[in-house]
C-alpha cells in the first residue's frame, strides 16, 4: 500500500507545530462529509459500545451518526487539539500514540471495535494528550462531539458504559507502562499483533514499516529485526508491512503476560462481543 506519504522525514516544522514537526508532516484533516454516509440500517452497530446502547439512545443518535472510511496512517487528532467528533471503530484499528519532543513516538493504547476514540473529550480535558493514528485501514462510525457530551452529562447508562470503557483503557495504558519497562521488543510486537487480531476479522494485517516503527518507538531496522525473529519462529509471514499470522497460539505463548492482563480486564468491563 502506498501510504507512507503521510510521514516525511527531514522536513522543517510548519510554524506552530513545535516539537511535533520535525519528523512528520500532518496529513489533511479527516474526510469531509461527502465521503461519509449516514447509517442506513438500524442494525449496523458493529461496535461493542454502540451495540450496548439502550434502544432509545440509539434512535436519538442515529440521525447524527456517519460511517466514514479511514485511511492507513490517517491522523484523527493531534495531541493538544480539541475534538470535533468521536469515532467508534468498526473494522479499523486506531493507535493512541505519545509523541516526544524529538518526534519519536510510542503507542500507549490500541482502540478497535470494542471502544471509542476521543475519550478525553468527555473527561473534561477539552483537548487530548495523545495522537490518534489509523493503524489498520477500515471504517468507523463517527458522532459529533457535542451530542456525546450532552448524553454523557446526563448520568445515565451511556455515562456508565463509557466510564467502564475508560477504566479498561486506563488498564491498558498501565500495562503498556509496565511492558515498555520490562519486556522485550518482540514480546511487545506479539502483544500488539494479538490485540489487533482480537479487533479484526481474519489473520492478516496491512501496515507500513513506518507505522510499526512509530508504534513500537524504534527505528525501522528495529521493526525488521523483531518481525524477522517472529518469522523465523514460524509465527508470522512478514513482507514490508504486510503481516500474516500463521500460528496464533505460538504468538500467545511468546508474548508477555501483558496481553492476557489487558484482555481479561476488557472482558470483565465491556459488554459481550457483537454477534457476527
Question: Which residues are at the interface with another protein (CB under 8 A)?
Answer: 96, 98, 100-101, 104, 106, 108, 119-120, 122-125, 129-130, 153, 155, 163-164, 166-171, 173-178, 180-182, 217, 257, 265, 268-269
248 neighbors 195 (Cβ within 8 angstroms): no
CB of 254 to another protein, least distance (A): 15
- Using CA atoms, how far apart are residues 112 and 199, in angstroms rounded to an integer? 5
| CA–CA gap between residue 141 and residue 147 (Å, rounded) | 14
Nearer to another protein, 11 or 170 (CB): 170
Nearer to another protein, 204 or 225 (CB): 225
Element (H, E) at 152: helix 145-152
- Closest separation in Å from C-beta 109 to another protein: 8
Return the SS3 of 163: helix
CB of 116 to another protein, least distance (A): 14
Q: Looking at beta carbons only, is 7 or 98 nearer to another protein?
A: 98
CB of 177 to another protein, least distance (A): 4
Any residues with CB less than 8 A from the CB of 172 and at least 6 apart, and which? 109, 110, 262, 265, 266
The smaller minimum CB distance to another protein, of residues 114 and 265, is found at 265
Cell of 229: 525473529
Amino acid at each position: 500500500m502506498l501510504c507512507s506519504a503521510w510521514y516525511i522525514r527531514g522536513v522543517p516544522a510548519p510554524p506552530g507545530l513545535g516539537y511535533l514537526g520535525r519528523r512528520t508532516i500532518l496529513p489533511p484533516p479527516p474526510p469531509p462529509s461527502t465521503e461519509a454516509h449516514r447509517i442506513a440500517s438500524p442494525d449496523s452497530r458493529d461496535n461493542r459500545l454502540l451495540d450496548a446502547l439502550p434502544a432509545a439512545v440509539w434512535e436519538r443518535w442515529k440521525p447524527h451518526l456517519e460511517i466514514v472510511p479511514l485511511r492507513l496512517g490517517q491522523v484523527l487528532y493531534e495531541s493538544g487539539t480539541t475534538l470535533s467528533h468521536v469515532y467508534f471503530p468498526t473494522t479499523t484499528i486506531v493507535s493512541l500514540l505519545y509523541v516526544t519532543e524529538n518526534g519519536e513516538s510510542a503507542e500507549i493504547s490500541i482502540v478497535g471495535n470494542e471502544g471509542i476514540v476521543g475519550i478525553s473529550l468527555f473527561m473534561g480535558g477539552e483537548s487530548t494528550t495523545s495522537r490518534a493514528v489509523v493503524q489498520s485501514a477500515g471504517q468507523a462510525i463517527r458522532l459529533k462531539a457535542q451530542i456525546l457530551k450532552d448524553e454523557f452529562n446526563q448520568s445515565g447508562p451511556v455515562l456508565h458504559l463509557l466510564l467502564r470503557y475508560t477504566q479498561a483503557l486506563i488498564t491498558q495504558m498501565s500495562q503498556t507502562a509496565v511492558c515498555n519497562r520490562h519486556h522485550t521488543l518482540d514480546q511487545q510486537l506479539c502483544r500488539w499483533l494479538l490485540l489487533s487480531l482480537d479487533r479484526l476479522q481474519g489473520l492478516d494485517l496491512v501496515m507500513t514499516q513506518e507505522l510499526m516503527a512509530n508504534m513500537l518507538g524504534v527505528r525501522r531496522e528495529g521493526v525488521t529485526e523483531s518481525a524477522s525473529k517472529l518469522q523465523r519462529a514460524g509465527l508470522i509471514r512478514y513482507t514490508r508491512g504486510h503481516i500474516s499470522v500463521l500460528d496464533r497460539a505460538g504468538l500467545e505463548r511468546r508474548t508477555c503476560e501483558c496481553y492476557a492482563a489487558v484482555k481479561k480486564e476488557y472482558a470483565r468491563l465491556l459488554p459481550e462481543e457483537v454477534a457476527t
